[in-house]
C-alpha cells in the first residue's frame, strides 16, 4: 500500500529539564520525535519502557499512550507533528517504526536547521495537557500558513528526511494484506464519517461477509468493526480539538446513532469520556489565554 507522508509541524524547540520532565497518561493525536543531546530519562509506553540515550532519536507515534520519567538533568530537541487527515490509512497504521535510532551528524544538523527556520514554535508549557489543545493547534497551523513557501518546503523536506531514518528500519504491520483488504481499508478511510456496513465491505472485497471478517482479522490483527471504531474515535479526538459542535453532534457526524455507546467507546479507548476530554481542553485553553501578555 502506498505510504503518504503529509505532516504539519506543530512544535519544535530546545529544552533543558532538571528532573521536571515527568508526565503520565499522554494519549495524543500528534506524533513526537525527541533528539536527546545530554542526560538520562525514560519514555514509558504500555508495551515497554525505553531508556533514553544521548545522540539518539526517539519516535512516539500518534495515539500511543505513554509517559515520561526524568530524575536528573536532560537536554533535548522535541518535534511534534500532526499527520494531516486524508482518505488513506495513517502511516502509523501500516508500519511498525523503531522507537530508537542513532542520530548521525547530518540529521542532528537538520533538526537544528528546522528549529532555526521555525521561530515561535516552542512550547509555552511542558505539561502535555497544556499544549495538546485547540489554542496551540490553531496557533501553529496559522503560523504554518504564514510561513514563506521556501521555508515551508524546506521544513517539509527536513521532516521527511528525519522520518526516512526511521523508515529504513520500519516493518510492515500487515505484510500479508492483499488487494481485497486494501480496497476494504481504503473504503473505511474514505467513509469513516458514515455508518460502514459489513455487507458493503464484503461486497467490495468480493467475499462473503464471514470470509471477509476472517480475512480482515487475520491480516489486520483485529476485526473490521474494532478497526472502524478505533479510527472513528481517533478522528473524534481531533475533532474535539478543532470543532465547536456538541458531543452528540460529533457522534452523529461520525456515524454513531447511540450517544451512550459513543461515550463508552471513547472512554474505553482514550481513558476519559468525550465531555471530560473537551472540558479539560477548554480549561487548558482558558488558562493559556489568561497567561497571554
Residue 276, CB-side half-sphere exposure with 13 Å CA sphere = 8
pTM given for the model: 0.76
Residues 166 and 186 in one domain: no
For the stretch 120-170, pLDDT in tens is: 888 877 767 655 555 555 556 555 556 788 998 999 999 999 999 999 999
Residues 107 and 161 in one domain: yes
CATH of the domain at 251: 1.10.10.60
Note whether residue 288 is domain-resident.
Answer: no
Cβ atoms of 165 and 105 within 8 Å: the answer is no
Residues 95 and 45 in one domain: yes
The cell numbers describing 250, all together, are 460529533
Note whether residue 289 is domain-resident.
Answer: no
pLDDT at 253 over 70: yes
Percentage of residues in the chain having pLDDT higher than 90? 51
Residues 165 and 183 in one domain: no
**Which pLDDT value is given to residue 289?**
39
Residues 156 and 201 in one domain: no
* Angle of the 209-220 helix axis to the 198-205 helix axis, nearest 10: 80
**Which pLDDT value is given to residue 220?**
84
Please provide residue 36's backbone torsions phi and psi, each rounded to the nearest 5 degrees.
Answer: -85, 120
Q: Which helix (H) or strand (E) holds 42?
A: strand 42-45
Residues 213 and 122 in one domain: no
**Pick from 43-47, 74-78, 140-144, 237-241: least confident:** 140-144
Q: How many domains does the chain have?
A: 2
Per mean pLDDT, which of 26-30, 48-52, 280-284, 286-290 is the most reliable? 48-52
**Which pLDDT value is given to residue 120?**
85
Residues 146 and 194 in one domain: no
From the list 82, 62, 81, 78, the residue with the least C-alpha distance to 70 is 78
Which residues span the domain enclosing 245? Answer: 179-283
- Tell which of 172, 201, 235 closes a domain: 172
Is residue 272 classed exposed, middle or buried when 0-12, 13-18 and 19+ CB atoms within 10 A define those classes?
A: middle
Amino acid at each position: 500500500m502506498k505510504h503518504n507522508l503529509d505532516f504539519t509541524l506543530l512544535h519544535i524547540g530546545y529544552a533543558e529539564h532538571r528532573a521536571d520532565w515527568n508526565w503520565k497518561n499522554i494519549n495524543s493525536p500528534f506524533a513526537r520525535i525527541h533528539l536527546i543531546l545530554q542526560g538520562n530519562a525514560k519514555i514509558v509506553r504500555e508495551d515497554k519502557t525505553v531508556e533514553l540515550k544521548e545522540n539518539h532519536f526517539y519516535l512516539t507515534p500518534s495515539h500511543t499512550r505513554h509517559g515520561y520519567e526524568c530524575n536528573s538533568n536532560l537536554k533535548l530537541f522535541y518535534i511534534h507533528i500532526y499527520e494531516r487527515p486524508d482518505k488513506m490509512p495513517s502511516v502509523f497504521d501500516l508500519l511498525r517504526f523503531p522507537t530508537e535510532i542513532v542520530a548521525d551528524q547530518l540529521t542532528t544538523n537538520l533538526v537544528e536547521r528546522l528549529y532555526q527556520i521555525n521561530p515561535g514554535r516552542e512550547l509555552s508549557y511542558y505539561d502535555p495537557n497544556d499544549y495538546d489543545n485547540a489554542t496551540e493547534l490553531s496557533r501553529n497551523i496559522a503560523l504554518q500558513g504564514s510561513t514563506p513557501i521556501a521555508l515551508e518546503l524546506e521544513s517539509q523536506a527536513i521532516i521527511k528526511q528525519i522520518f526516512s531514518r526511521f523508515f529504513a528500519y520500519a516493518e510492515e504491520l500487515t505484510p500479508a494484506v492483499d488487494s481485497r483488504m486494501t480496497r476494504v481499508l481504503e473504503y473505511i478511510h474514505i467513509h469513516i464519517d458514515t455508518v460502514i456496513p459489513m455487507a458493503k465491505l464484503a461486497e467490495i472485497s468480493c467475499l462473503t461477509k464471514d470470509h471477509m471478517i476472517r480475512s480482515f482479522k487475520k491480516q489486520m490483527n483485529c476485526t473490521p468493526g474494532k478497526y472502524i471504531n478505533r479510527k472513528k474515535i481517533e478522528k473524534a479526538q481531533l475533532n474535539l480539538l478543532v470543532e465547536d459542535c456538541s458531543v452528540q453532534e460529533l457522534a452523529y457526524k461520525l456515524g454513531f446513532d447511540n450517544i451512550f455507546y459513543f461515550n463508552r467507546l471513547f472512554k474505553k479507548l482514550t481513558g476519559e469520556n468525550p465531555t471530560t476530554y473537551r472540558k479539560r481542553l477548554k480549561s487548558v485553553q482558558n488558562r493559556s489565554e489568561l497567561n497571554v501578555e
